[in-house]
Amino acid sequence: MDDSDLMQPLGGAEFAPQQTYLNTSACALLPRRTIEAVALLCEETAAGRPEGAGSFDIVDEARATYARLVSVHPDRVAVGSSVSVHVGMIAQSMPAGAEILFPEGDFSSVITPFTIRGDLKTRFVPLERLAESIGPETALVAFSSVQSADGRTADFAAVRAAAAAHGARTLLDATQSAGWLPLCAGEWDFTVAGGYKFLLCPRGASFLTVTEEAQDTMVAIHAGWVTGEELWSNSYGPVRELARSARRYDEPPAFLSYHGAARSLALLEEIGIERIEAHNKALAARFRAGLVDLGHAPVPDVSGVVGVPGLGDRQPDLLAAGVLMSARAGKLRASFHLYNGPADVDRVLEVLAG
């Protein structure tokens, strides 16, 4: 197999983009099977069938598939609606005065739930200095696996080692990587991942993982009837016992989102994250090489997300030419995924070349 074979789109008839779509970092294309699952639940609801209420079994199917994708037991996975809600629970569980360390310019949903507390010490450092900046006063280091603005990645091993050396907990936001970059979620105290990007899920599906040790430190501030150990025994009055697993942090599931999510996550599992990683990185490398040939310097990294300083103002021109990308922090951002191929890369470079 040569490089061109490696870069051919994956997923077959599941995807049918009608333009050059390099914007998964903003929102993914939905697979055909996912659309069908959501439409089926809508039809069942409209017809008044019992299945129209939505299925907790399908939610647990999505939970279990996600757990396999990130190499943890399903008991370590909570489901919800958004990263900011997951992070909010963690932030509200931190003791007053605790130091939280972030990379400068990380995504707001990782940061704001902590800063609004008003009684936490928040500190910001350059991404490349994140590991060395963890100290004995650091209670938690929180950062994105792939930076939304430009695709940079941190030194994961160094961050974990420094956190362990100083007794700090870790929070990894995998929203820009889960679905294409292998993740061992159990290596981090907490991970969060919004489902509507590289996980190919409808909006309204998001995942939180919590280690057993970290679970003892977090308050289930959104607890309700779905968070009980016995699901159907807590509809009235106080929940008698919270789930012993990370399910205690569940939000009531948005069933339309999770019926679709179960199908999307199954597709990712069928194809394989390692295969998708190689595919996405090969396309990104082709794009970086083409940019250099055109005299542009992309942000250096091996990520499947590529930021290009100074080209953010070209986003409207690209859109007019049928190429959908994002402009973030003054940079043009390309994000490659399994449904992209070499023709997409070449089309972007053609437009940029004028």
Cα–Cα distance for residue pair 43/282, rounded to 1 Å: 41
DSSP letter (8 states) at residue 119 = S
Instruction: Just give the CATH number of 3-30+272-353.
Output: 3.90.1150.10
Model confidence, pTM: 0.95
Beta strand 99-103 pairing with 121-125: parallel
Q: Which fold has domain 41-270?
A: Aspartate Aminotransferase; domain 2 (3.40.640)
- Position 7 scores a pLDDT of 81
Distances (CA, A) of 110 to 54, 86, 157, 164, 225: 30, 9, 20, 21, 27
CB within 8 A of 73, min separation 6: which ones? 67
Nearest C-alpha neighbor of 77 from the set 210, 253, 234? 210
**CATH 3.40.640.10, the chain: domain bounds:** 41-270
Nearest C-alpha neighbor of 261 from the set 335, 210, 197, 181? 197
| Terminal Cα-to-Cα distance of the chain (whole angstroms) | 33
- Position 1 scores a pLDDT of 43
**CATH 3.90.1150.10, the chain: domain bounds:** 3-30+272-353
Distances (CA, A) of 232 to 36, 114, 172, 243: 29, 34, 32, 12
pLDDT in tens, the chain (354 residues): 456 667 899 988 999 999 999 999 999 999 999 999 999 999 999 999 988 899 999 999 999 999 999 999 999 999 999 999 999 999 999 999 999 999 999 999 999 999 999 999 999 999 999 999 999 999 999 999 999 999 999 999 999 999 999 999 999 999 999 999 999 999 999 999 999 999 999 999 999 999 999 998 999 999 999 999 998 887 889 998 999 999 999 999 999 999 999 999 999 999 999 999 999 999 999 999 999 999 999 999 999 999 999 999 999 999 999 999 999 999 999 999 999 999 999 999 999 998
- Asked if residue 170 lies in contact with residue 141, where contact means CB atoms within 8 angstroms, the answer is yes
Q: Where would I find the beta strands (DSSP E) of the chain? A: 20-21, 77-80, 99-103, 121-125, 138-144, 169-173, 190-194, 206-210, 305-309, 323-324, 326-328, 331-335
